[in-house]
A and B are shown apart, each in its own frame.
Chain A
Amino acid sequence: SQQGEEDPQALSIQEGENATMNCSYKTSINNLQWYRQNSGRGLVHLILIRSNEREKHSGRLRVTLDTSKKSSSLLITASRAADTASYFCATDASGGGADGLTFGKGTHLIIQP
């Protein structure tokens, strides 16, 4: 079952600009995670934000979480050509031993040099 939905589906910006991607979901979660995937390669875990956190930073990445609106955003500042990739949000509702990590369909980000 697909829970997270990213918006936009595709985004093209100039190098140096900031890129913002959004994720909306429907049910309660323990945490929300963002992953990056370069074309045809395995996903790389970028950042995890717990349900009791509102904002988290990692290098040029800033993630926010609003549990009242059931939404999250990923901001990449000062974008580089190497940031071109697909970005996925994943909602984690794991509990009682069950694995409840569900991925959205992703935002394809293109950084124009």
Chain B
Amino acid sequence: EAQVTQNPRYLITVTGKKLTVTCSQNMNHEYMSWYRQDPGLGLRQIYYSMNVEVTDKGDVPEGYKVSRKEKRNFPLILESPSPNQTSLYFCASRLTADRYGYTFGSGTRLTVV
């Protein structure tokens, strides 16, 4: 089944403790993105990647890192999480930009205390 898989589904952590949210897609898509969704603010793009080893900042990249060492994987790294990063995070992929929509993962609900 074609899908985007992200883990974990739920995560509670403490301020400053490094964490990684994994994302994998099995559709050979070139583009992958991370979004965060907050009440009243909608979905905002954190980072995206056009292909292996090529990434770029979205609208809200501060406090996040990403890497794209393999085409299928696009992990999101929070090196020193803070409470304002408490949010619902989505990974998504699409074949190319400008003519295809995104396939989304099921989401990761992160709470930083």
Contact = CB atoms under 8 A, between A and B. Distances in A.
B42 A99 contact: no
Interface in B1-52: 4, 31, 33, 35, 40-45, 48, 50
Contact of A2 (B42, B48, B101): B42
Contacts of B103: 45
B104 A42 contact: yes
B67 interface: no
A44 B104 contact: yes
Task: Label chain B's interface by main secondary structure.
Answer: strand
Sorting the interface of chain B by its residue count into under 10, 10 to 19, 20 to 34 or 35 or more gives: 20 to 34
Nearest to A43: B104
A101 B106 contact: no
Contacts of B41: 105
A88 B43 contact: yes
B107 A40 contact: yes
Contact of A48 (B40, B43, B101, B107): B101
A101 B93 CA distance: 12
Q: Which one of B31, B48, B98, B106 has the highest number of Cβ atoms from chain A below 10 Å of its Cβ?
A: B98
Per CB-CB distance, the 9 closest pairs between chain A and chain B, nearest first, are A94-B97, A45-B101, A42-B104, A105-B42, A94-B98, A103-B43, A99-B48, A43-B104, A30-B98
Interface of A: 1-2, 30-31, 33, 35, 40-45, 48, 50, 88, 90, 92, 94-95, 97-106
Given A30-B99, A35-B101, A88-B43, 15 more contacts: A2-B44, A31-B99, A40-B107, A41-B106, A41-B107, A42-B4, A43-B90, A43-B104, A48-B99, A48-B101, A94-B98, A98-B97, A99-B31, A103-B44, A105-B41
